[in-house]
Structures are given as structure tokens and as C-alpha cells.
Amino acid sequence: MRCNRRALLYAGFFYAPLASADWQLNLIEGATEISRSVYSLHMVIFYICVAIAVVVFGVMFWSIFWHRKSRGAKAAHFHESTWIEILWTIIPVAILVSMAVPASTTLIQMYDKNNAELDIQITGYQWKWRYQYLDQDIDFFSNLTTPADQISNEAIKGDNYLLEVDRPMVIPAGKKVRFLITSNDVIHSWWVPALAVKKDAVPGFINEAWTLVDQPGIYRGQCAELCGKDHGFMPIVVEVKSAEDYQLWLQQQGALKLAQQQSAERDWSVEELMSRGEEVYKQSCLACHQAEGQGIPNVFPALAGSPLMNETVDEHIDVVLNGRSGTAMQAFAEQLSASDLAAVITYERGAWGNQGGAVSVQQIKEMLKE
């Protein structure tokens, strides 16, 4: 049965691209003034190149057609001409200058980062993005939500395959937003084509970029700098909202924070922790430690059967909260809420045959020393 289903799905994939046929040929105009001027710059250079190509290749194919031996062509004897050589040095220089002027104007425009109304700090992590709204106490991670079975071809791929996240960056329309981009580990690059913003996130250093989107909408992008195994799986989603909707969203964020605090206060049953833990595991741990906790030999340690998951509780919590120096294991204390931390640790200690026993939200809170 399963085999049949797989076969059917594979057949579907062959067809799928045709069904959603895009055949997009060109750059998009985008949603900002800058992206539109980049687009027109792109088109101008493209047309100039096409014009030069028509002339150059035209002469070439003219010669290939008319000056071939089989048509009885006799070779001429000229082999230099000072004036023509000077001419075809000067003309390209003139064309280049005419290209450089609009290019410089757009570039200078892009570098004007003043008068932003909102500052967002963007931090690249292997392999997710963190958005911190300065002065607003909003701080969250944005993870890929495409289910693993879609990636492994066991389910039909959704419309926004690999371009969907749990919590998108939300910005107001019509306001200048400044991005402060940095990284937690390796170099990433934050890129949203519709905004024409691409800036590297370099560990230890901060880069600036800005955007001003006029219309509400959802804009998607991806990490553009090779950053390790899951470089292809760290999308960016920017949701641009109208001023009112944005205010509403800000209020929701406050409520969300409150709910998180409350969920850390109440009592959680082991079953609740296990089921929540499975969700959190899929979101935050699966990429490295794999679906069955088996890890990747020589790269990421296995969790199934690990002594850490079965015996030493405090050390287990310590590694999850504070990470492990010198390895890819990140500190999750700031990434997850106390209840989520308790849930995922409980899950890891109870899944795949591990017999470590549950931990309570209280234990985590003590370790967090809140």
C-alpha cells in the first residue's frame, strides 16, 4: 500500500511542476521604490547588452555567411586600423559612463539609512532567523515550517514549499524600517527579492540595510550565503501590514508573551509535555538530531540511547539551555519558552526508547534563574 502511495506521489511530482508552471524569466519589479529602480537599472543594462550583441554578433554572422570559402570568398589583407581600434575603445567607455551614472544614483539612495521609524535587529542562526524589534520588547525566532515528509517526497508539496515560516517578520507599510543584520555563528545573508535587500550577516559585526514598502503584502526570500547543511532550508517571510493591522499585531505580541508566562505558571501533565515536546523537537532539533533521534554519525550526536538522555538530568537541561561550546549545539534558553524547554527535554528523555523520565517546568525555571 505504502509503496503504491509513494509511486503515485512520485508520479504526481513529475506532473506538479507543469501544473504550477511558472517559467518566470525576469527579475521582479518588487514592492519598494528602491526595488523598482533596481529593476529599471537591470532592464536598461540588459537592453544595452542586447543592442551591443545584435551589432557584434550581426557582423560576425554576416562574415560567417558571406565570407566563407565555400562561397568563393577570398581573404582580404588588412590586419590593423588605428582609427577603428581607437573608436571601439572610446565607444564602450562612453556606454559604460552612461551606465555608471544611474547605477551610482541608485546606490547612493540605498545608502541613505537616516530617519528610519523602526529598527529591527536580524540575527542569522544555523538555520533560522531571529528578529528583535528594538525598543519594543518583541523578540522571536522564525523557523521553517515545511513538514519533513514534504521534503522527503512522502507528501504533496504545498504552495509555499520551503518558503514558509512559523513567525514571519511583520513591518508596517509606508514606514521606513532599518535592519541591523548580524550573525550568531557563520556568515548568512538576508535576502528578500521584492525589497531588493540583500545583506550579509557576519558574526561579530553589524550591517545596515533599510526598506520602505508601500503596499501591504507577504514577501518571501531565502538565506543567500552558504551557511552549512541546511542553508537551503532557512527562508525569510516578511509580512507588511497596514498601520492599523500593525498596531493590532503589536498588541497580539504583548498578549502572546503574557500567555507564554501563564503557560509556564500552570501545571503540565507528562502527556501534555510529551506531545508539545514532539512539536518543539520537530521545529528546533530535528534538522541535526534527525527524526528518530539517531543523529548523523560523526557530525551530530545521537540522542536515542544517549546517557545524557537517560541519566544526568541537570546536565541534559544545561546542554539544552546553554548549548555546548565548540560545537553546533546552540543555547536554547532564549529561543524557547520555559514550558517549551520542559516539553522538549521531557520528549527527548521519553522518546525512542529513552527512559530518562520527565522534567517539570519548575525545574527549568530554576535553572533559568528567573
Partner 1 sequence: MGSVEHAVSETEQHGPAKGITRWLYTTNHKDIGTLYLLFSLLMFFVGGCMALTIRAELFQPGLQLIVPEFFNQMTTMHGLIMVFGAVMPAFVGLANWMIPMMVGAPDMALPRMNNWSFWILPFAFSMMLSTLFMAGGGPNFGWTFYAPLSTTYAPPSVTFFIFAVHMMGISSIMGAINVIATILNMRAPGMKLMDMPLFVWTWLITAFLLIAVMPVLAGVVTMMLMDIHFDTSFFNAAGGGDPVLFQHVFWFFGHPEVYIMILPAFGVVSEIIPTFARKRLFGYVSMVYATSSIAILSFIVWAHHMFTVGMPLAGELFFMFTTMLIAVPTGVKVFNWIATMFRGSMTFETPMLFALAFVVLFTIGGFSGLMLAIAPADFQYHDTYFVVAHFHYVLVPGSIFSIMAAAYYWLPKWTGHMYNETMGKLHFWLSFIGVNVTFFPMHFLGLAGMPRRIPDYALQFSDFNMVATFGAFLFGFSQLIFVYNLVCCIRSGEKATARVWEGSHGLEWTLPSPPPYHSFTEPPELDKNNTGQS
Partner 2 sequence: MSQQQQPNRTLIIRLIAGAVLMFGFGFLLVPLYDVFCQVTGLNGKVLNTGPVQDVNADPQRRVRVQFIAVNNESMPWRFRPEQSQLTVYPGQMKQTAFIAMNPTSSTMIGQAVPSVAPSEAAEFLHKVNCFCFEQQPLDAGEQRAMPLVFVIDAALPEHIKTVTLSYTLFDITPDTGPVAAVTEEPERRNL
Is 135 among the residues that bind partner 2 (CB under 8 A)? yes
The helix/strand/coil state of 163 is coil
Return the residue of 49, 134, 243, 248 that touches partner 1, per CB under 8 A. 49
> Around 351, how many Cα atoms within 13 Å sit in the side-chain half-sphere?
25
Q: How far is the CB of 223 from partner 1 (least distance, A)?
A: 7
145 makes contact, choosing from partner 2, partner 1, none, with CB < 5 to 8 Å by partner type, with none
178: closest CA among 216, 145, 208? 208
Q: Are 236 and 218 contacting, i.e. CB atoms less than 8 angstroms apart?
A: no
Q: Which of residues 219-278 bind partner 1 (CB under 8 A)?
A: 221-233
Is 46 among the residues that bind partner 1 (CB under 8 A)? yes
Q: How far is the CB of 176 from partner 2 (least distance, A)?
A: 12
CA separation for the pair 117, 131 (Å, rounded): 16
Which are the contacts of 2, defined by CB distance < 8 A and separation ≥ 6? Answer: none
Is 110 among the residues that bind partner 1 (CB under 8 A)? yes
Q: Are 315 and 259 contacting, i.e. CB atoms less than 8 angstroms apart?
A: no
136 phi, psi to nearest 5 deg: -125, 0
What binding mask, one character per residue, do residues 327-346 give for partner 1 by CB under 8 A, x or -? Answer: -x------------------
Q: How far is the CB of 92 from partner 1 (least distance, A)?
A: 5
> For residues 332 and 347, which CB has a smaller minimum distance to partner 2 in the complex?
332
> For residues 179 and 219, which CB has a smaller minimum distance to partner 2 in the complex?
179
Return the residue of 5, 67, 68, 113 that touches partner 2, per CB under 8 A. 113
What binding mask, one character per residue, do residues 296-335 give for partner 2 by CB under 8 A, x or -? Answer: -xxxxxx---------------x--xxxxxxxxxxx-xx-
The helix/strand/coil state of 172 is strand
Q: What is the DSSP letter of 165?
A: B
What binding mask, one character per residue, do residues 138-167 give for partner 2 by CB under 8 A, x or -? Answer: ------------------------------
Q: What is the DSSP letter of 203?
A: B
Question: How many residues bind partner 2, per CB under 8 A?
Answer: 46
> For residues 31 and 180, which CB has a smaller minimum distance to partner 2 in the complex?
180
358: closest CA among 317, 330, 318? 317
CA separation for the pair 298, 98 (Å, rounded): 55
Distance of CA 156 to the CA centre of its chain: 22
CA separation for the pair 161, 155 (Å, rounded): 11
Is 218 among the residues that bind partner 1 (CB under 8 A)? no
Binding site for partner 2 (CB under 8 A): 113-116, 119, 121, 123, 134-135, 178, 180, 182, 184-185, 203-208, 228-229, 295, 297-302, 318, 321-331, 333-334, 367-369
